[in-house]
């Protein structure tokens, strides 16, 4: 039995959240939530503010206004303890979040554990090995990142994002630069980890096959209105969402006649 609509199942919620740089909003009045154990896809045009939103969620950029609650803690005005709770709740893989080239794959995965946990090194190493097995990289532990294919590097970065066993995992354009087959494999991995561990994933992507494959729900950010245009299941939004969202999900080009008018 699922409790997808219970209040208690919400692990992150944004309420009229405005985000941006130096007090200047990139996106305004964002309201959406993330439920336990779901994959929430964030999509929207290039430059609309998706990475800015991921940075805000990762506590690297303060919100301009509004509320952002993670694991029951309000980020705005949070004290040190609150911030620690939020940071420990989130594992992130940024868009260009490269692995450290001078460290082995295993050492890359161990890195977040060193900063946050007082566990003995052999224990950390064993935990990192388990994570690498979970992303099918057990045989690549001692390789350097540049010895791995693009897809393997992404999987290693996902293992690193999982290092502190966060309930929320944020992936910013994980399949950028991957071929369609590798990208489809990554989708399966994300779904598998999400559903087998009841973690929540926030995944930025505008690849339509990925959206329909992995998204339990999606949030559509519109660069024109600078806010959330729609939240819902991709199939439902395709059928009955706002026009712009239906156009995006059905990959319909703008009408040049209308554009010219
Ligand atoms: N560090 C920054 N300082 C000021 N503006 C920025 C910074 N990073 C990004 N921006 C601007 O914020 C807007 C949204 O960028 P971004 O969040 O990277 O978009 P997306 O990830 O959706 O492509 C863009 O107009 C971009 O130029
Ligand atoms: Mg981006």
Q: What is the pLDDT of residues 115-147, one digit of tens each?
A: 766 788 899 999 999 999 999 999 999 999 999
**% of the chain residues with pLDDT over 90:** 84
Of ligand 1's listed atoms, the one at least distance from the Cα of 172 is 21
Let me know if residue 6 belongs to a domain.
no
Q: Is residue 254 part of a domain?
A: yes
Compute the average pLDDT of residues 73-92. 94
Domain assignment of residue 69, given as a range: 37-260
Distance 240 CA to ligand 1 centre (A): 30
How many distinct structural domains can be found in the chain? 1
Per-residue pLDDT, 7: 55
Ligand 2 centre to CA of 2 (Å) is 32
Long-range contacts of 85-88 (CB under 8 A, 24+ apart): 86/59, 87/59, 88/116, 88/164, 88/166
What pTM value is reported for the model?
Answer: 0.93
Residue 12 lies in a domain: no
Ligand 1: distance of its center to the CA of 211 in Å? 22
Helix or strand run (H / E) with residue 159: helix 150-161
Question: Per the domain annotation, does 122 fall within a domain?
Answer: yes
Would residue 32 count as lying in a domain? no
Average pLDDT over residues 104-122: 87
Could you tell me which residues are beta bridge partners of residue 203? Answer: 41, 171
Q: Give the C-alpha separation, 11 to 200, whole Å.
A: 8
Given ligand 1 and candidates 18, 30, 43, 52, which is best to mutate, with the most ligand atoms within 8 Å of its CB? Answer: 52
- Asked if residue 48 has its Cβ within 6 Å of ligand 1, the reply is yes
Q: What is the C-alpha separation between 53 and 222, in angstroms, rounded?
A: 13
Cβ(26) to ligand 1 under 6 A? yes
Distance CA 93, CA 83 (A): 19
Report how far ligand 1's centroid is from the alpha carbon of 51 (Å).
7
Q: Is the CB of 19 under 6 A from ligand 1?
A: no
51 lines ligand 1 (CB under 6 A): yes
User: Which pLDDT tens digit goes with each residue over 183-240?
Assistant: 999 999 999 999 999 999 999 998 999 999 999 999 999 999 999 999 999 999 999 9
pLDDT for the residue 1: 43
Token pair recorded at residue 152: 């393997």
Considering every ligand atom shown, identify the ligand nearest to the alpha carbon of residue 223 and give its number: 1
Write out the two tokens for 98.
Answer: 């490269």
How would you list the strands of the sheet with 73-74, edge to edge?
24-35, 10-21, 65-70, 73-74
pLDDT at 63: 97
Q: What is the CATH number of the domain that holds 218?
A: 3.40.50.300
CB-CB contact of 67 with 76 (8 Å)? yes
- d(C-alpha 227, C-alpha 142), whole Å: 44
Report the pLDDT value the prediction gives residue 250, as an integer from 0 to 100.
94
User: Which atom belonging to ligand 1 lies closest to the Cα atom of 50?
Assistant: 22
Instruction: Kindly state if the Cβ of 52 falls inside 6 Å of ligand 1.
Output: yes
Q: Which of 17, 18, 19, 21 to mutate to test the pocket of ligand 1 (most atoms within 8 A of CB)?
A: 21
* 7 found inside a domain: no
For 115, phi then psi, to 5°, come to -70, -30
- Would you state the structure tokens that stand for residue 235, as one six-digit string? 């199939």
Flag the least confident range among 38-47, 104-113, 118-127: 118-127
DSSP assigned state of 60? S
What's the mean per-residue pLDDT of the chain?
A: 92
């Amino acid at each position: 039995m699922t409790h997808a609509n219970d209040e208690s199942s919400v692990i992150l919620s944004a309420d009229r959240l405005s985000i941006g740089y130096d007090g200047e909003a990139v996106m305004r009045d964002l309201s959406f939530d993330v439920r336990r154990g779901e994959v929430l896809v964030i999509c929207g045009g290039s430059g609309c503010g998706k990475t800015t939103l991921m940075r805000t969620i990762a506590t690297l950029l303060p919100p301009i206004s509004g509320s952002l609650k993670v694991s029951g803690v309000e980020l705005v005005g949070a004290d040190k303890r609150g911030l620690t709770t939020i940071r420990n709740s989130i594992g992130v893989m940024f868009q260009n979040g490269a692995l450290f080239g001078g460290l082995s794959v295993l050492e890359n995965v161990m890195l977040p554990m060193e900063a946050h946990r007082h566990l003995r090194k052999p224990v950390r190493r064993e935990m990192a090995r388990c994570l690498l097995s979970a992303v099918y990289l057990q045989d690549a532990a001692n390789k350097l990142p540049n010895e791995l294919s693009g897809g393997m590097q992404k999987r290693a970065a996902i293992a690193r994002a999982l290092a502190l066993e966060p309930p929320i995992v944020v992936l910013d354009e994980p399949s950028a630069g991957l071929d369609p087959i590798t990208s489809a494999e990554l989708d399966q991995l994300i779904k598998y980890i999400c559903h087998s561990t009841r973690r929540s994933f926030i995944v930025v992507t505008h690849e339509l096959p990925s959206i329909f494959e992995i998204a339990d729900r999606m949030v559509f950010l519109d660069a024109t209105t600078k806010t959330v245009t729609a939240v819902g299941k991709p199939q439902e939004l395709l059928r009955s969402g706002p026009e712009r969202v239906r156009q995006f999900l059905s990959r319909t080009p703008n009408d040049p006649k209308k554009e010219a008018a």
